Amino acid sequence: MSTLPFDTRLLLAPMAGVNDPVFRALCRRMGAGLTYTEMISSLALAYGNRKTQDMLRALPEDRPYAVQLFGSEPAVMAAQARALEAELGAGLALIDINMGCPARKVVSSGNGAALLKRSELACEIVAAVHAAVRVPVTVKMRLVSHADADTLAFASGLAESGAAALTIHGRTAEQYYRGAAHRSSVDTLVAGLSIPVIASGDVFSREDAREYRERGASAVMVARGARGNPWIFSGEEPDLAERVAVAREHVERLHAWEPRKLVWMRKHLAWYFKGSPVALRVRKAVQTAVSLEDYLALLESCAVGGE
């Protein structure tokens, strides 16, 4: 069933505000089969926005990787997909199209999960991007409604339009993250589609991933379960010293990559030490950390341990 053109071990899901290039590279080193960028606006790329272009980049050891685009204009999506294929060459594994983001500012402009209500336009986007590039084009979506038949009908249209695979996050857009992901939607899509299905939703352990595989998913994504926990990809249980070492590498390499991005370490560090004896201290200290030295001093104090 799996005809996915990449290593289908656990995948790092696209996550806006989380997936910086260093985090993605760490996940890859720990065993992620593929990593995704944050969702990237096709319109912002078309305008030549520098910050948006930066989001496309990845570290050399994290290639080939998946780029996720969002947008609702087929011609713009196609043109940007073609341009980034030309730019990234063999570094690009696939282009994924976001049809699941429920955030108000994304949906209100007709993007992300808004497309779940516009099947015809969604199919046009897939067909246009598919015609523009050689790499596989995939779609990441949510449930169209609580009736699996609706989700299958929508997904079938995407497959007919050229989608090479579909990722399903088993919640409706209206649910945001409330309730448990509806896992049996994977069964319905696997049974009803001839393209591979990738599962997403509530994967916090390798056991969760195994359950999705047993339902026929060709691959499984980890999202929230990877924050502060790239070890989910290796199956290791890190001790405090290992957490400190990886967090330090993340800080140093992120600073070297782009000093202005260092502020992202506030949330990453809180996640790395969540549930550990130093969690509270880290959460407090990151609020005032600014420079590389601040972050390194904070990690130094973590290495000593204690509250």
Residues paired with residue 36 on neighbouring β-strands, in sequence order = 66
Minimum CB–partner distance for residue 232 and ligand FMN (Å): 10
Burial code (b: 16+ CB inside 10 Å, e: under 16) for 124-142 equals bbbbbbbebbebbbbbbbb
First and final C-alpha spacing in the chain: 50
Give me the least distance between CB of 201 and ligand FMN, in Å please. 5
Rounded Cα gap, residues 96 and 37, in angstroms: 10
CB 59 within 8 A of CB 28: no
Distance of CA 187 to the CA centre of its chain: 22
Give the nearer residue to ligand FMN in terms of CB position, either 35 or 302.
Answer: 35
Rounded CA separation 266/264 (Å): 5
Rg of the chain on CA atoms, in Å = 19
Q: Kindly give, in sequence order, each residue whose CB lies less than 8 Å from that of residue 18, ignoring residues fewer than 6 positions away.
A: 38, 227, 267
Smallest distance from ligand FMN to CB 185, Å: 13
| Nearer residue to ligand FMN within complex by CB, 41 or 188 | 41
Q: Choosing from 27, 101, 123, 302, which is the catalytic residue?
A: 101
CB of 66 to ligand FMN, least distance (A): 10
Strand, helix or coil for residue 198: strand
How many CB atoms sit inside 10 A of residue 43's CB? 18
Active-site residue, 27 included? no
Closer residue to ligand FMN, CB minimum distance, 68 or 156:
68
Distance of closest approach, residue 70 Cβ to ligand FMN, in angstroms: 8
> For binding to ligand FMN (CB under 6 A), which residues are involved?
13-18, 38-39, 68, 98, 100-101, 140, 169, 181, 200-203, 222-225
169 or 243: whose CB is closer to ligand FMN?
169
Q: Which stretches within the chain are classed as H helix?
A: 21-29, 42-46, 50-54, 74-88, 104-107, 119-132, 148-160, 184-192, 206-214, 240-257, 265-272, 279-286, 292-304
Q: Which is nearer to ligand FMN, 159 or 222 (CB)?
A: 222
What are the contacts of 208-215 at 24+ separation with CB within 8 A?
A: 209/10, 211/183, 212/183, 212/186, 215/183, 215/184, 215/186, 215/187, 215/190
Q: How far is the CB of 233 from ligand FMN (least distance, A)?
A: 13
Which residue, 28 or 169, is less far from ligand FMN as judged by CB?
Answer: 169
Active-site residue list: 101
